[in-house]
Amino acid sequence: MILDRLADATRARYARRMADTPLDIVKSRALALPKGNFAFERALEAPGVSLICEVKKASPSKGLISPDFPYLDIARDYAAAGAAAISCLTEPDYFLGDDRYLQEIAAAVPIPVLRKDFTLYDYQIYEAKVLGAGAVLLICALLDTDTLRRYIEICDTLGLSALVEAHDHREIASALAAGARVIGVNNRNLKDFTVDVHNSSRYRALVPAGIRFVSESGITTPADIEVLRQNGTDAALIGEALMRAPNRRAAVEALLR
């Protein structure tokens, strides 16, 4: 399965990284920074469907998406067009991401940036804080409930938001039990990367009021956004449709109309 390969690549990468720079060093750097103000989750409180716009160079399912990849221009266009937040891929093996992209984007835009990666270790959360992220992605398919709870507590200590991603009712139950305040339901099956744009709508009612609900993947049109608005979805995370748009700023503005 693709998710298994992504997790294996992450384990290999962090075995090397944690040997080079131990956890206590990264943790001390993160804790020395001012505590964040949970700007990511606050950004999703606006009426209507907020947009989390993704900056990514490639994906396992679609290959190379943006050969030239002017990531700072892309991020600035998203922010200028009214995005509530930015999602930045940092996974290097399958998405061709880089920590540098996140660090530079976070310094360049006035809106919060989600670190989109495959979080397996608390090390990655402290690292995200040092890089300037306002939020991290925690995937239920990779983390049990106790680990999710512990990682959310670490985020709370740092002032980071956690976007907890689920795909079915069991994973939503795990996210809720762990204390998630922002839950995203992925319309893409991470086992085989097929997309069902109605997946998040089916599970919307399982997430109670007061917890931000995000629909992830496969959203491409204003009609899709209208469906989400009608079922009370707080935000949509949109990647490929915007990355392939000839005018990304206009594409964001069209989705927000």
Strand segments (E) across 75-160: 85-89, 113-116, 135-139
| DSSP run (H or E) holding 81 | helix 71-81
C-beta separation of 84 from 111 below 8 A: yes
Taking residues 171-196, what's their average pLDDT?
89
Determine whether 54 is an active site residue.
yes
- Token reading at 210: 């007061």
> Helix crossing, 122-131 with 2-20: angle to 10°?
70
pLDDT of res. 247:
96
Residue 76 phi, psi dihedral angles, 5° rounding: -65, -40
Determine whether 116 is an active site residue.
yes
Going from the C-alpha of 179 to that of each of 155, 172, 182, 241, the distances in angstroms are 12, 11, 9, 31
> Smallest Cα–Cα separation from 12: which of 129, 95, 126, 91?
91
C-beta separation of 120 from 10 below 8 A: yes
Active-site residue, selected from the candidate residues 27, 56, 57, 129 = 56
pLDDT in tens, 119-168: 999 999 999 999 999 999 999 999 999 999 999 999 999 999 999 999 89
Q: What is the pTM of this model?
A: 0.95
Determine whether 57 is an active site residue.
no
pLDDT of res. 251:
97
Domain boundaries defined on the chain: 2-256
C-beta separation of 226 from 236 below 8 A: no
pLDDT of res. 83:
98
pLDDT of res. 196:
79
Residue 214, number of CB atoms within 10 A of its CB: 26
> Smallest Cα–Cα separation from 219: which of 191, 249, 254, 192?
254
Determine whether 66 is an active site residue.
no
Determine whether 165 is an active site residue.
yes
Determine whether 171 is an active site residue.
no
Residue 139 phi, psi dihedral angles, 5° rounding: -105, 120
Q: Decide if pLDDT at 193 tops 80.
A: no
Q: Specify the CATH class of 2-256 in words.
A: alpha beta
pLDDT in tens, 100-123: 999 999 999 999 999 999 999 999
pLDDT in tens, 63-111: 999 999 999 999 999 999 999 999 999 999 999 999 999 999 999 999 9
